[in-house]
Amino acid sequence: MGFSRRFDIRLALRLTIFAGAVLLFGWLVVRDRLPVTTLVVGAAMVWSGVAVWSLARRTNVELARFVTALEQRDLVKSFGQPGRGAGFDELGQAFDASIRGLRATLAESAGQNRFASALVDGAPTPLLAIDGEDRVEIVNKAARRLFAGVKGPRLADFAPLGLPFVEALRTTPIGRRSTHLLVDGLPQRATIAVTSVERGGASWRIVAVQIIQHELDVAEVAVQADLVRVLTHEIMNSMTPVTSLAASAATLMAGLDEGVDGRIADARMAVETLAKRAEAIMHFVDTYRVFAQAPAVTIAPFDARAWSEQLARLFSASTLGQRVRLDVSAGSANPVVNGDIDLLTQVVLNLMKNAAEAASEHTTVPRVALSIAALSDGRTKITVSDNGPGIPEKYLQDVFLPFFTTKRTGTGVGLSFARQIVLLHGGAIGSVPSPEGACLEMVL
């Protein structure tokens, strides 16, 4: 305000002098007197006019410099030049103060933007931004890890993850819905939450993708384990006296059967059959008690190539392994597996045994393949495949349920136990399409 008043006073004074000089010069010219005085007044009129023009021009130049600095975001320019007088010292100081204030505001805004960007980039939920023309931006680190295999910036480039997932990204309205996508070849349940924002005059959809398959599997296995625990406890309590009495009765009948009375022989056979079946049921139930008790997992890194060679030796040493060809691939980069080597060995050997049995019953040249590969995000993919009949599509999810088996002599424990161990490692297991036979993959 002080600068404005001083500038107004100087401008008014110069305009007053100029106006007075013009009026006096006109009066002298009309009177045609005092030529020397007329010349002096004329000179004063010209000088005052030039002074007014110079003051206005200098003000416009300074203002133009200030506006140009703002347009070009040149926030280091200085306008303060002491000693110019006519209020321009104060004008420069005012412009410099405005620049400093704007610089501080922009610095604060930039800091807030960096903070918000760091929060978004470090968020554990993968985020995508999709515009009205199906262009997709991968927003944060979690999304870059999940969608590392996507090769283009459009929705159509997400097709390898599954058409249902692409359709869900394209059509889901504001809100939340569930869908499926393929992660490392395995089908995974996910939820997507969609919101809308304006950016650059266009409407963008922000999509948060959350994989929930692991949580669902863990919850399902926990429920199954609780159910098995209750059932096995009740069955064991009921069958223990039956098994004991049946065994005792079979022993008594063996002592009574002298081979003379056919009725005693029939009763002996019936009691012995009952005893055997009771013992078999007890063995079956006892097997499932293992599933109901989750083992302790000790995670440690180990060399995948050495492990694959150990698995090959153990498999080849079995009777079944001597009749089935085994192909082993551990990659060229010597991947490292992070897990419990004893439990994973038990799981993979069981998968190889199942694959060998299926292939042996289906073809005269049975083959089993074991592959261990390092993924780009540091995880490990373990694949066991065979050239057997494959898993019928209607059973693809059921094979991992406890008690479920398609084999005549199976117990339904193997794959459910494998799933439990993989989940304890924070991984995923599933059946993937194969040109022949079955193909089971684990990602740890």
pLDDT tens for 276-323 read 877 777 776 776 666 666 677 889 999 888 899 889 888 888 888 888
Query: What single letter denotes the amino acid at residue 191?
Result: T
**Domain residue spans of the chain:** 2-115, 123-210, 216-292, 300-443
Nearest to 352 by CA among 327, 374, 389, 381: 327
**Token pair recorded at residue 394:** 């209607």
180: its two tokens: 């499926």
Q: Compute CA distances 409 → 241, 365, 369, whole Å.
A: 26, 23, 24
Cα Rg, the chain, nearest whole Å: 43
Q: How far apart are CA 66 and CA 178, in angstroms?
A: 55
Distances (CA, A) of 381 to 35, 302, 443: 108, 14, 4
Of residues 325, 318, 309, 424, the one with CA closest to residue 365? 325
Q: Where are the alpha helices (DSSP H) in 318-377?
A: 341-362
Count of C-beta atoms within a 10 Å radius of residue 355? 28
- Give the class (CATH, top level) of 300-443: alpha beta
Report how far apart, in Å, the C-alpha atoms of 189 and of each of 211, 225, 421 are. Answer: 6, 22, 20
The fold for domain 123-210 equals Beta-Lactamase (3.30.450)
In tens, the pLDDT along 246-272 reads 788 778 877 777 767 778 787 878 878
Buried b (16+ CB within 10 A) or exposed e, 379-396: bbbbbbbbbbebbeeeeb
pLDDT tens series, the chain, 444 aa? 444 556 556 666 666 776 776 666 666 666 666 676 666 666 766 676 666 666 666 666 666 665 566 555 665 566 555 544 445 555 556 666 676 777 777 777 778 888 888 888 888 899 999 998 899 999 999 999 889 888 888 999 999 998 999 999 988 888 888 888 888 888 889 999 999 988 878 889 999 999 988 888 887 777 777 666 766 666 777 777 778 887 887 788 777 777 677 787 878 788 788 878 777 777 767 766 666 666 778 899 998 888 998 898 888 888 888 888 999 988 766 678 899 998 899 889 989 998 998 888 888 899 999 999 888 778 889 999 999 888 887 777 777 776 666 666 555 667 888 888 888 898 888 888 787 888 999 998
Q: How far is CA 147 from the centre of its chain?
A: 8
Q: Please return the burial class of 122, using the count of CB atoms within 10 Å of its CB with bins 0-12, 13-18 and 19+.
A: exposed
Give the predicted TM-score (pTM) of the model: 0.62
Asked if the domains at 123-210 and 300-443 fall in one CATH topology, the answer is no
Spatial separation of the C-alpha atoms in residues 254 and 245, rounded to whole Å: 14
